[in-house]
Amino acid sequence: MAKFYPLFSSSKANASYIGTKNSGILIDAGASCKKIFDALSCNDLKPACIQGIFITHTHSDHIKGLKTLVSKLHVPVYASEITLEFLIHQGYLSEHTEMISVSTDSKIMHCGDCEIKAFPTMHDAKGSCGYQIHTSDDKYCAVCTDLGIVTPEVKQALHGCDMVLLEANYDPDMLWQGTYSFDLKQRITSQYGHLSNQDSAEFANYLIHSGTTRLLLGHLSQNNNTPELAVSAVTRALHEFIPDIDYLLGVAPVETMGGAVIF
């Protein structure tokens, strides 16, 4: 049975493993290789279970550990063509790395007993994308963070997914009253930035109506949000549903202490 393991999730580091104890995929590698290996061990997973690494975009909180990780695992790296070009130019990938360019035209990729599709996301990193995963036990999940806005392409890709890791990056009041520069605040709230709790709540309502039963809120800013605020905003938006019966809602940990989502 495939499970979703949120290894790291915040504005500082992001990585998730989807699969079984024997085979699966890693989405993003935003922590050091050692920390990722430690996180896998905390979940009774061995590094050899990773059959491929899928990168969403080029920001450091998603690629920090990639270079060392690839050198130790010798597995293919999947990303958009423009993302792969950046990773090569910046020395994250070498000529010996197997690189597979992903397209966002619904083309199916096969890796780690999963079928994976990429979908485009609005973010200020060229080639940014999210991933929908179809597991060997016929379940669907998706990793959907770093969104400026929820586009029709994102809605289509996530419609009917059993489980979704969904961004809830910031609370507007905390952000605007905080110490970030005005330019950074504008960037975060722009259509190429991140989803607020309210944005996430609105999209969560759509997802539950479409059949999603498990929501994991992720990529929370440690400076501009709290798990309590994010959960409260989403719960209010889902008032017509019964929590723990119609849906399960949680927050992805900044760093795993062990635990997975069964979907």
Q: So what's the pLDDT on residue 204?
A: 98
End-to-end CA distance of the chain: 9
Q: Judging by DSSP bridges, how do beta strands 24-27 and 50-54 pair with one another? A: parallel
In the predicted model, what is the mean pLDDT of residues 89-105?
Answer: 95
CB 261 within 8 A of CB 4: yes
pTM over 0.75: yes
What's the Cα-to-Cα distance from 151 to each of 119, 133, 165, 202, 203, rounded to whole Å? 10, 19, 16, 13, 10
In the predicted model, what is the mean pLDDT of residues 187-215?
Answer: 98
Write the pLDDT tens digit of every residue in 110-123.
999 999 999 999 99
Write the pLDDT tens digit of every residue in 225-246.
999 999 999 999 999 999 999 9
In the predicted model, what is the mean pLDDT of residues 162-166?
Answer: 98
Q: What is the rounded distance in angstroms from the CA atom of residue 115 to the CA atom of residue 31?
A: 25
Whole-number mean pLDDT of the chain? Answer: 97
Q: What is the rounded distance in angstroms from the CA atom of residue 213 to the CA atom of residue 171?
A: 24
